[in-house]
A and B are shown apart, each in its own frame.
Chain A
Amino acid sequence: MSLLTRNDIRGLMAEVVAAQGKRLPDDDGALLRDIGFRSLDFSELALRVEDDIGHELNFDAPGLRQIASVGDVLEFLDSLQRM
């Protein structure tokens, strides 16, 4: 299976956020704490990305703690799928 584009990942993130009755801001700089996007939401998104690309994305928590914005999430997952 092929890698996802940043936009694909953004689309999946929008689905996770929408399932909570919220809308994902267009601005990559939007802060996760303002959207209420928590660590397990990130896990859910990562697992959805895994399903689409067909392999696991395993990572340690310290990297996750640096993530603050929508752009950080997209960047983190985009880099992770390429490793």
Chain B
Amino acid sequence: MSEDLTPIPPASCVVVSGGSRGLGLALVQDILGRGARVAAFARSVTPELAALAAEHPEEVYVEAVDITDVRAVEAFVRAAGNRLGPIDALVNNAAAGQDSLLVHTAPDRIASLIETNLTAPLLLTRAVLRRMLAGGRRGRIVMITSVCAQRGYSGLVVYAAAKGALEAAARTLAREMHGRALVNCVAPGFFASEMSSALGSEQLDTITRRTPSGRLVEPTDIVPLVRTLLFEDTNLNGQVLTVDGGSSI
């Protein structure tokens, strides 16, 4: 088979993990707004996501799926393809947070964090790529990682390890999928909402002051970059785009 060196086409049918709230929901809405079809899952389907599916039954497919349930995830990808048509893109957004020192994190909690933040996204990526390749299609993969993968933050050792591994996997996959898939990461800094729930207002003010842009991250900062990676012809591949207001520079 001769190599197709033309640009990889814009996404037409995108799987989004963790699509029920926050950034995931914002991504689902944006992808739909771009005229693409979107299949989203999360542990539970929020009323907002259910409403989108009800309003756009031909373009949106949603289900409650635990990302660590391998069989359920594979069944979701299969069902999404049958319902919406061939899948040609994935946004790996689902994640589980950590806020504990490594020495006080139980071994089974460590295993669970690795499973949710690394193993499960890799298996989802595998499932999507297998269907894409089997159908002779090319596509795009976006991993939502974290600034924690590049900078040290206390209390996030396992989370950081998983996100760093995901970034390494994305670079390797970009090379491995030579010409068949663009694979990139978007690494947000701390979201304002997450920070405000975990920290006091004094700590929040300090972090904001240390951020050159003066603003913590909002989903609206991330959505345009994911949109670009899914729909534009940029030739970006194997890269990590960090969105943190410059706090890590």
- Please tell me if the beta carbons of A56 and B99 are within 8 angstroms of each other in the complex: no
Stretch of B59-67, B103-111, B114-122, B216-224 lying at the A interface: B103-111
Partner of B99, one of A43, A46, A47, A61: A61
Main SS at interface, chain B: loop
- In Å, the complex CA distance between A39 and B104 comes to 12
Q: Is B100 an interface residue (CB 8 A)?
A: yes
Q: Is B198 an interface residue (CB 8 A)?
A: yes
A residues in contact with B101, CB < 8 Å = 39, 43, 61
- Please tell me if the beta carbons of B99 and A57 are within 8 angstroms of each other in the complex: no
Q: Is A5 an interface residue (CB 8 A)?
A: no
B residues in contact with A65, CB < 8 Å = 199-200
Q: Is B155 an interface residue (CB 8 A)?
A: yes
Partner of A43, one of B103, B198, B199: B103
- Chain B residue nearest to A44 in the complex (CB): B103
Chain B interface size, as a band, is: 10 to 19
* A81 CB, min distance to chain B CBs, angstroms: 13
Interface residues of B in 88-114 (CB under 8 A from A): 99-101, 103-106, 109
- Please tell me if the beta carbons of A62 and B198 are within 8 angstroms of each other in the complex: yes
* B189 CB, min distance to chain A CBs, angstroms: 18
Q: Is A26 an interface residue (CB 8 A)?
A: no
Partner of A46, one of B104, B105, B155, B199: B104
B residues in contact with A56, CB < 8 Å = 106
- Please tell me if the beta carbons of A61 and B155 are within 8 angstroms of each other in the complex: yes
- Chain A residue nearest to B100 in the complex (CB): A60
* A33 CB, min distance to chain B CBs, angstroms: 14
A residues in contact with B99, CB < 8 Å = 60-62
B residues in contact with A39, CB < 8 Å = 101
- In Å, the complex CA distance between A18 and B43 comes to 49
Interface residues of A in 51-80 (CB under 8 A from B): 56-62, 65
* A32 CB, min distance to chain B CBs, angstroms: 16
17 pairs, A vs B, C-beta closer than 8 Å? A43-B101, A43-B104, A57-B104, A58-B100, A58-B104, A58-B105, A58-B106, A59-B100, A59-B104, A60-B99, A60-B100, A61-B100, A61-B101, A61-B154, A61-B155, A62-B99, A65-B200
- Chain A residues in the interface with B (C-beta under 8 A): 39, 43, 46-47, 56-62, 65
Q: Which 10 A-B pairs have the closest CB atoms?
A: A58-B106, A60-B100, A61-B99, A61-B155, A58-B104, A60-B99, A61-B100, A59-B104, A43-B103, A62-B99
